[in-house]
Chains A and B, each alone.
Chain A
Amino acid sequence: MIPEALHISNGVLNGPVSIAYAVLAAVAIGVCVVNGRRDLEDRLVPMAGLVAAFIFAVQMLNFPVLPGVSGHLLGGALAAILVGPWVGALCVTIVITAQALFFADGGITALGPNITNMGLVSTAVAFGVTVVLLRVLPRTPAGLSISVFVAAVVSVVVASQSFVLQYALGGSTELTGGGLAGVAATMAGTHLLIGVGEGLISAATVATVARVRPDLVYALRGLKTGVAA
């Protein structure tokens, strides 16, 4: 009953583009492994495992955004803010790989493009937005929640446009007329709404962790905050 989640199916992108994105994703994962190792101290190891398991769970929860259209969390913002951009990207990558290999969700030939959009683009964008907002907004629980919310919304919309770029480079069906521009606009619109859902879930989750164990929120490290209070 659960539809194919926001994952690209086999055959949607052509071979060369799928392979190019697989190579790109593999290189980026290598960079994340090298940089993530430095972050992975004793506390972060179980936390990162939990973040990956939690994202898998929440990705099953499609929520309605328009009549007949649903969406679910991508998890990039949650992962990047809780365990950092490097380890966070690896968490989402593990989730997407497990979904493709065991749950027939997201084609195996589309693994590179799917990891790029949801694992790499969304975590990188979310972390960048969060770092900037945490500097300018008041360092209060409200400031943290707003930062997480905005980071999630932006990351989901950018990830959706990353798919549009992939389709422009190597979509298998040539769309007639202004087809691709129409798809870009539709994707941006629905993913703005999905991003609002993602933002609410991510902000609530991060706020809960920040209240219970502020030391476990990676994005708060090194910031003097009143968030713990």
Chain B
Amino acid sequence: MRKFILAGLLAALLLAGVVSSFASSSPDGLDSASTKGCTTDADGEITGGTCIAQGAKDHELADSPLADYGIRGIDNAYLSTGLSGIAGVLLVFAVSGGAFWLLRSRKRS
């Protein structure tokens, strides 16, 4: 069991730490539907029309150290994205593992 979990975690770390830098940076399905009906300039800023994205506001934590899957202060894009991905995988594994351990059924133990 331990070997399986470690192998899976290693795969997740490789995907988030390395492969993530090669992901598509085009707007995703929701973002592209959100600008439907609006005209946008080259920077993606809305210039007219009516669309979903007009109401969108900035994120409350847009200045957080890991905002937008990067690490603030690291200029190298590969390093910044990769390290933020690794941090995220470890964080989610720790939080969810801890939460599920607390919730586990104790019938058999």
Contacts and interface: CB of A to CB of B under 8 A. Distances in A.
B25 A1 contact: yes
Contacts of B29: 6, 65, 69-71, 160, 187, 190-191, 193-194
Could you tell me the dominant secondary structure of chain B's interface residues?
A: helix
Contacts of B54: 172-173
A108 to B, nearest CB: 5
A175 interface: yes
B36 A61 contact: no
Contacts of A5: 28
A27 interface: no
Nearest to B80: A1
Interface size class of A (residues with CB under 8 A): 35 or more
B92 A95 contact: yes
A20 interface: no
B16 A9 contact: no
A91 to B, nearest CB: 6
Contacts of B77: 1
A103 B80 CA distance: 13
B48 interface: no
A62 B23 contact: yes
A8 interface: yes
Interface in B13-32: 13, 15-16, 19-20, 23-32
Interface string A80-112: 000000010011001100111111110111000
B81 A1 contact: yes
A60 B8 CA distance: 16
A175 B93 contact: no
Given A1-B25, A9-B57, A173-B55, A104 B92 contact: no
Contact of A2 (B9, B81, B95, B109): B81
B33 A2 contact: no
Nearest to A192: B29
B104 A3 contact: no
A138 interface: no
Contacts of A3: 25-28, 31
Nearest to A36: B103
Interface of B: 1, 4-5, 8-9, 11-13, 15-16, 19-20, 23-34, 36-37, 50-62, 64, 66-70, 77, 81, 84-85, 88-97, 99-101, 103-105, 108-109
Given A42-B104, A46-B5, 18 more contacts: A5-B28, A10-B59, A12-B53, A37-B105, A45-B101, A49-B93, A50-B9, A53-B96, A60-B69, A62-B25, A68-B27, A70-B27, A102-B91, A172-B55, A175-B50, A183-B36, A183-B52, A186-B32
List 6 A-B pairs, minimum CB-CB distance, nearest first.
Answer: A172-B55, A49-B97, A11-B57, A190-B29, A104-B67, A57-B16
